[in-house]
Amino acid sequence: MNLVILTEQDRVGKGRFVLADHRAVHIRTVLRITPGETVEVGLVDGPLGTALCESSSEHELVLTCDHWREAPVPTPTIDIVCAIPRPKTLRKLLIFSAIMGVRRILFVRANRTDKSYLQSPWLQPEQHRPFLLEGLSQGRQTRLPEVHTHQLFRPFVEDTLPDLENREPVPSVKLLSDPYAAQVVGELGPLSTGPRYLLAIGPEGGWVPFEMELFAAAGFRPVGLGPWTLRVEMALVAAIAQVSLVDRMRNRHE
């Protein structure tokens, strides 16, 4: 727990928060913060702060924080399109996305999404929050990624994605991770005006040709991540790491 994430539900006064769950236990027994000491906190979708531990018992821990500072907003802005994965992978994708400051995760049912995955309780929006909060805490982030799930592939790519795109101030760079792509992300030439990327990460076994074609028609360009067959959550990390690196190098050279 690199940052103690606070929510409005924890608030009992203006700058006063009461924790009575695993966070309190962690602060007391792992971080070993005692009353009078301070701990770094972040408010969900809000600022960072240094909170004072007022009291601590087996049952609850009271923190006060009156001085807040802006949490840095990750740059570039990265949105992810991802095939609905097996539940264990879904959980990792939520945590990893929050750690890496992803703005929005769009899960879509792909041809290779096993039917059983759709029954996963973890696919329900109310189940995402604990994993996202765990990621924020690990990654020292405060901005909760948006998560959406779409059951129909074609309308998602043909209608939903353009609708979302139209609401943005600048067009995104759309990339599709494809092990057979001839190019890597650094070889695509000038990318765009915006520091905004939409990355499509395939399911185990990859997107099927029909899906690849729809993505291509929607403006996605295939890129290879490297000579590996990665797990989905590893592909997420590799893709974000490479896109962020190339984005930063481009901006330095301009």
| Residues forming the site for its own copies (CB under 8 A) | 2, 72, 74-75, 96, 99-101, 138-140, 184-187, 225-231, 234, 237-242, 244-246, 248-249, 252
Nearest residue (CB) to its own copies, 83 versus 218: 83
Calpha distance 102→196 (Å, rounded): 11
For 56, 109, 156, 176, 223, the CA distances from 239, given in Å and listed in that order, are 42, 20, 22, 10, 9
| CB of residue 29 to its own copies, shortest distance in Å | 14
| CB of residue 157 to its own copies, shortest distance in Å | 26
Calpha distance 82→203 (Å, rounded): 7
Nearest residue (CB) to its own copies, 97 versus 218: 97
Nearest residue (CB) to its own copies, 171 versus 224: 224
* Sheet containing 221-223: order of strands: 146-150, 104-108, 77-83, 196-201, 173-177, 221-223
Residue with tokens 């979708």: 45
Nearest residue (CB) to its own copies, 112 versus 140: 140
| CB of residue 228 to its own copies, shortest distance in Å | 5
| CB of residue 231 to its own copies, shortest distance in Å | 6
Neighbours of 159 (CB within 10 A): 11
Calpha distance 48→186 (Å, rounded): 34
Do the beta carbons of residue 33 and residue 168 sit within 8 Å? no
| CB of residue 200 to its own copies, shortest distance in Å | 17
Nearest residue (CB) to its own copies, 141 versus 172: 141
